[in-house]
Chain A
Amino acid sequence: MSPTPLEGKVALVTGGARGIGAGIAEVLARAGAQIAIGDLIGGDHSAYRLADRDELDQTLERLGRVGAETFSTHLDVAKGDSCNAAVAAAVDRFGRLDILVNNAGIVRSGSVEDLDERDWDQMFAVNAKGLFLMSRAALPALKESEGAIVNIASVAGLQGHANMSAYCGSKFAAIGITQSLAQEFARHGIRVNAVCPGFLATAMWLDHLLPPSDTDESEEERAARFETMMNKMVPLGRPQTLDDIGDAVLQLATAPNITGIALPVAGGAVMR
């Protein structure tokens, strides 16, 4: 593979302002793609800290340094109109769309007794319905480019966990949607796959997924506890990195005869 297989291609990454989305955008940018980022900047989302303008600006600057043309737009993947507008704006800016990375996602954990019904709805709206709405919005442009969709699911989409019913359910849904769209879009030459990240020391893991501690702990202690837990669950014994996820997305976005798969990038925590 040439070092820049995405030369002349355009990728739209949802939730790309920070975290895994920003990491994916950077790998795709290094591979030669122009990058559109859609993110819910500064919106109001109860109890969930969204990426802010500074984080987005830093990401855009980093992508620019890699040599990518960039564009960013407000996007709420849970709303059809917003998805349509974001895709239209990206296509307007770059003239085409080759790769859609559905990365935007939210997480809340909690026992069945504790989890709020609104949290359940919100997780399904973003993590599951968002894939559907974005894929529908991008379909005309992807038909023209015979492009690819990569959905960022999770190892939580392959195995259930206590206190994670809503998140796991929404990520299982993401994989079901991936398989369905792979079959539905194949006749247009569009490939649809999922990447299932495992354990990354992102805000999502450190703030939400790591089981709560009985004691007050410092950030360092919390990070150390994450490391210990991850070591137990992962045969390769190391956390996954943004580059690991980005490289898997790049591989699936460029493989002409792979569609409908869900590829765990989790150090062996899940095997299939």
Chain B
Amino acid sequence: MSKPNRRSLDGKVALVSAAGRGIGRAIAIGLAEAGASVALNSYGDETTESTAEAVRAVGSDALPLPGDITDPDTILSTVDRTLAHFGRIDILVNNVGAGPKEMPEREAHALGPVAALWDALYDQNLRAAMLMTEAVVPKMVEQGHGKIVQVSSIAGRTSLSDRMLKMFTHPAYGAMKAALCHYTTTLAETLGPRGINVNAVCPGIVWTDSWKANAEGAVASQPQWKGLDARAWFDGIGRGDYPEIFDRTPLRRDQTVEDVADAVVFLASEAARNITGQSLMVDGGMVKL
């Protein structure tokens, strides 16, 4: 029938940060498959170019913009170059976020180390997404439309086990992701009247470079898993084989980068035109809200 496909992103321009690998790469490709042109950033030249190639391979226009997206100058130049090339930004996906790449200098007091860790996780998870949003919103307001999707985490919506926190993540990571979900609601409230939708997705357990490193660490350091293949060990996390680390996921499997990308594409499309301020769990049912 002649009704338009509301999931199509034909003619749209998307900007995706941290799109070199894993979830960000899948999001860039998913947006491209739905028809969007994609400006994409990642830290390294090679990873950025590799995703750009994948975007072009599905027939979309790609603009690779490598650089450290936690740096305000890079944020501003990334937005400027996207606008110079495409003339507008319809979709912003803030996928930036991770454990600290480098630690800020410690202050010379007993709380110095813990303060440095929180500062680093703030810089890479909340501050970078917030500054990018601040840089893009004026243009979206001028356009009278826009879709912003923040990539948060289950860590921002629930507590995690002591073992999980000791081995793989840090309370500050969850706190920053929780703040990102809250920032999503306040942005949605203020930008709704300007025609801008703001939502978050919260991925669960996804086989990315971070989880690969976690898995390699687990099989190398824990006697009960010695000799196990890292990927095989990781499959056990989704299945719920190690309840002392992670609560059982009802669907008993890990989530994929494509699952997350599909949720982002949905939220970025007209199919979700009346959804705003939500944090969409993509976690196999782990978090109960």
Chain A interface residues (CB < 8 Å from chain B): 1, 3, 30, 65-67, 179, 182-183, 186-187, 189, 191, 198, 234-238, 240-241, 243-244, 247-248, 250-251, 255-268, 270-272
Nearest B residue to A240, CB-CB: B274
Candidates A179, A186, A270, A271; contact of B251 at CB < 8 Å: A186
The 0/1 profile, CB within 8 Å of A marked 1, for residues 140-161 of chain B is: 0000000000000000000000
Please indicate which of the listed interface residues B34, B250, B266 has the most CB atoms of chain A within 10 Å of its own CB: B250
Q: In the bound complex, do residue B283 and residue A268 qualify as a contact, i.e. CB atoms below 8 Å apart?
A: no
How many chain B residues sit at the interface, stated as a range, is 35 or more
- In the assembled complex, which residues on chain B have CB atoms less than 8 Å from the CB atom of A186? 250-252, 284-285
CB distance from A176 to the nearest CB of B (A): 10
- CA gap between A263 and B285 in the complex, in Å: 13
Nearest B residue to A239, CB-CB: B274
- CA gap between A191 and B275 in the complex, in Å: 21
20 A-B residue pairings within 8 Å (CB atoms):
A1-B262, A30-B1, A66-B1, A186-B284, A235-B188, A236-B197, A247-B7, A248-B272, A255-B262, A257-B251, A258-B281, A258-B282, A258-B285, A263-B278, A263-B280, A267-B192, A268-B189, A268-B277, A272-B278, A272-B289
Q: A187-B252, A243-B6, A271-B188 are in contact. Are A237 and B1 (CB under 8 A)?
A: no
- CA gap between A243 and B279 in the complex, in Å: 21
Interface residues of B in 226-282 (CB under 8 A from A): 250-253, 255-256, 259, 262-263, 265-266, 271-282
- CA gap between A270 and B284 in the complex, in Å: 23
State the majority secondary structure of interface residues on A: loop
The 0/1 profile, CB within 8 Å of A marked 1, for residues 2-21 of chain B is: 01011100000000000000
Candidates B256, B259, B277; contact of A271 at CB < 8 Å: B277
- In the assembled complex, which residues on chain B have CB atoms less than 8 Å from the CB atom of A189? 251
Q: In the bound complex, do residue B7 and residue A257 qualify as a contact, i.e. CB atoms below 8 Å apart?
A: no
- In the assembled complex, which residues on chain B have CB atoms less than 8 Å from the CB atom of A1? 7, 34, 262, 265
- CA gap between A248 and B280 in the complex, in Å: 12
CB distance from B271 to the nearest CB of A (A): 4
Q: In the bound complex, do residue B288 and residue A179 qualify as a contact, i.e. CB atoms below 8 Å apart?
A: yes
Q: A30-B3, A258-B281 are in contact. Are A198 and B274 (CB under 8 A)?
A: yes
Q: In the bound complex, do residue B193 and residue A235 qualify as a contact, i.e. CB atoms below 8 Å apart?
A: yes
Q: In the bound complex, do residue B274 and residue A258 qualify as a contact, i.e. CB atoms below 8 Å apart?
A: no
